[in-house]
A and B are shown apart, each in its own frame.
Chain A
Amino acid sequence: MADKIFRVNMSTLSTAIEDVPTDWSGLGGRGLTSTIVAAEVEPTCHPLGGKNKLVFAPGLLSGTAAANSGRLSVGAKSPLTGTIKEANAGGTAAQMLARIGCKALIIEGLPKGDSWYNILISADAITINEETELAGKGNFDVVAAVQARTSEKHGIMTIGPAGEMKLLSANISIKDPDSRLRSNGRGGLGAVMGSKRIKYIAIEPTEAKVEIADPDKFKEANRTFTKALVDNPISQALGTYGTNVLVNIINEAGALPSRNFTAGQFDGHEEISGETMHDTIVERGGKPRHNCHTGCVIQCSQIYNDVNKKYKTSGFEYESIWAMGADCCVDNLDHIAEADHLMDDIGIDTIETSVAMGVAMEGGVLEFGDGEGICRILREDIAKGTPLGRIIGCGAGSVGRAFGVTRVPVVKNQAIPAYDPRAIKGIGITYATSTQGADHTMGYTIATNILGVGGSLDPLSHEGQVELSRNLQIATAAIDSTGMCLFIAFAALDDATCLPALVDMINARFGIHLVADDVTNLGISILKTERAFNEAAGFTNKDDRLPEFFSEEPIAPHNVVWDISGEEIDTFWNF
């Protein structure tokens, strides 16, 4: 069964299942979403209007037995940044889409009227139904209701109230194997889905398997690849402490932005650290290890229980904990867990919203350290769409404009996450030059600047930072196209067997003969496609800059400012 493009037109409420154009056949994940958005979306269009398209694509290896290959890419023009956007997440949807032969699902147009809709897709049919019960519901209720309507095995991609209200930080939530949620978090893609009046998309389970051109070669390569992941010490630490293991090391490095980016260390770091989180999880009968999709061998997720040993949240990530914790000066992990749960239910990006809370604290909306206040605003303002809730729900830039705050940590209007660019210069290059606004995952220089992975480069020096970010951004664009979790990069950077095995798996899956250079070229071509879209949308190199306060306000303990010039930043694109 050849893969197909599934297309839904919400203006005409019609659907089509189409052959894959030859140009798209070698693409998956981010490579495919960005190629489709660049080909079919007018760069200058309003992101919440009828000309934008929302594209879902599993990776090249999603749906196969390849370890860690269950990431789903979602792309569109972002209403938060105005740039092209791809956000990826785990959950069951990528693997299920791949197994029904869906190479990409493209949703276009806007319906007339104010009805809500849901979409059901299977291997040979797409159905658009009017949705009369679930509008206004949180994501957890949606998942329970859709499972009752369909089956527990159906895949679900849903928006919460934030997406319905078209808040610019709204995310798209993907059901995980335990019927909980993973998030295509950044850039407001949930608002795009809300603009198209789609509450959820369900995927029918199938017994069909993804076709593999050379099963024996595939199995052998997957064995090598899996071993590289399992043997990697970073994978092992991720399974114990989660990504939140980073709180203490980034704090120690003086790069943990605290109190709305006015300090590089947080007094309460130990209380919110991965070590404390691990001990709390174990004490309360939770699970330190948990996989967000079948086949993950790293298991960086976890089950975090509340003080009564009842489930509270999972996928409790460093960047979310940093944002609500250090950036808002909240040193109570239970308040942060409650806020994380609320944001999952409302369907709003934890990074953008929490950084927005930090700006709101500086603007006098609530006190720094008020974790209960954050939860109250989430429940009573953002979930209900009060004017204050909508201002905060539209992100850090929105709060800064509404409250006259000038210390607003955003690039291209997207909040800067958990690593201060003054104290880790490489990540500042990534924030500035990323095609999608500030996003650490676009080129994770922390690996080399701090963690000693892929070599070592002094985080406070100028030397080599542009090149480091460029190489990582190219590699990341390629990895994001495979369906692989980005955490395979830790093994790929330091274990010579890892990347060749990944290329071998792609070759065995499709019966092709790629070499490592082809993968690099794929990454280059994706970045250039995304950059061209942004330029056509009106962005220039002057947008590839950090906010001016980073150049003017030294950050303790190193007392450093952002001092890489615009000219140096611009050399990023010399490739």
Chain B
Amino acid sequence: MAAEDRISITVKLFAFFRENRFIEQQQQFPAGTTVRDIILSQGIAPEEVGVTMINSRQCTLDRIPVQGDQLAIFPVIGGG
């Protein structure tokens, strides 16, 4: 695959998703990768995911991020 077909995404993890992983990382993905694909590539089960945001806006798991996006992945959490 040509370099221009790959995109760089900032992946941010929260709460117990950070265990044995990371807080924030730049990662490369083939263009067209969905949020769900990115979640799976971290070894996280999509059903454990509560909220995903791209650039601080909520998004669905089918969303396709573009070059430079920030993707935040949260487990099911709450408080108040």
Which residues of A are at the interface with B, using a C-beta cutoff of 8 A? 233-234, 237-238, 240-246, 248-249, 252-254, 270, 274-275, 300, 318, 440-441, 444, 446-447, 450-453, 456, 458-460, 486-487, 490, 557-558
Contact = CB atoms under 8 A, between A and B. Distances in A.
Given A249-B14, A252-B12, A275-B15, A233 B53 contact: no
Contacts of A237: 15-16, 75-78
A462 B16 CA distance: 33
Nearest to A558: B56
B10 to A, nearest CB: 12
A487 B80 contact: yes
Interface string B40-75: 000000001011010011100000000000001011
B80 A248 contact: no
B77 A557 contact: no
Contacts of B50: 233, 451-452
A234 B16 contact: no
B18 interface: yes
Given A233-B50, A451-B51, A253 B56 contact: yes
A451 B78 contact: yes
A270 B23 contact: yes
B78 A234 contact: yes
Contacts of A486: 80
Contact of B79 (A233, A318, A459): A318
Contacts of B15: 237, 240-241, 245, 274-275
A454 to B, nearest CB: 11
A34 to B, nearest CB: 21
Interface string B1-37: 0000000000010111010000100000000000000
Contacts of A444: 80
Given A246-B78, A318-B79, A441-B80, 15 more contacts: A234-B77, A237-B75, A240-B15, A245-B15, A249-B74, A253-B53, A275-B14, A275-B15, A446-B80, A451-B50, A451-B77, A456-B58, A487-B80, A490-B78, A557-B56
Closest 10 CB pairs of A and B: A243-B79, A234-B78, A233-B76, A246-B79, A237-B77, A254-B56, A252-B72, A490-B78, A245-B77, A444-B80
A454 B56 CA distance: 21
Nearest to A300: B79
B76 A234 contact: yes
A435 to B, nearest CB: 18
Contacts of B48: 233
Most B CB within 10 A of own CB, among A237, A270, A486: A237
A446 B77 CA distance: 11
A486 B80 CA distance: 9
B79 to A, nearest CB: 3
Contacts of B74: 249, 252
Nearest to A418: B80
Contact of B77 (A246, A441, A487): A246
B16 A240 contact: yes
A249 B77 contact: yes
23 contacts: A233-B50, A237-B15, A237-B76, A238-B78, A242-B79, A245-B15, A245-B78, A246-B78, A252-B12, A252-B14, A270-B23, A274-B15, A275-B14, A444-B80, A446-B80, A450-B58, A451-B51, A451-B78, A452-B51, A452-B76, A459-B58, A486-B80, A487-B78
Contacts of B78: 234, 237-238, 245-246, 447, 451, 453, 487, 490
B72 to A, nearest CB: 5
Contacts of A441: 80
Nearest to B77: A237
Most A CB within 10 A of own CB, among B18, B50, B72, B79: B79
A246 B80 CA distance: 8
Nearest to A251: B56
A430 to B, nearest CB: 11
A133 to B, nearest CB: 38
Contacts of A249: 14, 51, 72, 74, 77
Nearest to B14: A248
A270 B23 CA distance: 10
A328 B48 CA distance: 34
Nearest to A318: B79
Contacts of B79: 238, 242-246, 274, 300, 318
Most B CB within 10 A of own CB, among A248, A252, A444: A252
A252 B56 contact: yes
Contacts of A458: 58
Most A CB within 10 A of own CB, among B15, B50, B77: B77
Nearest to B52: A452
B43 to A, nearest CB: 18
Nearest to B80: A444
A252 B77 CA distance: 14
Nearest to B47: A233
A354 B34 CA distance: 42
Nearest to B76: A233
A241 B57 CA distance: 23
Contacts of A557: 56
B40 to A, nearest CB: 19
B77 A241 contact: yes
Contacts of A254: 56
Contacts of B16: 237, 240
A458 B51 CA distance: 12
Contacts of B72: 249, 252
A244 B14 CA distance: 12
Nearest to A250: B79
A248 B75 CA distance: 12
A459 B50 CA distance: 16
A238 B76 CA distance: 10
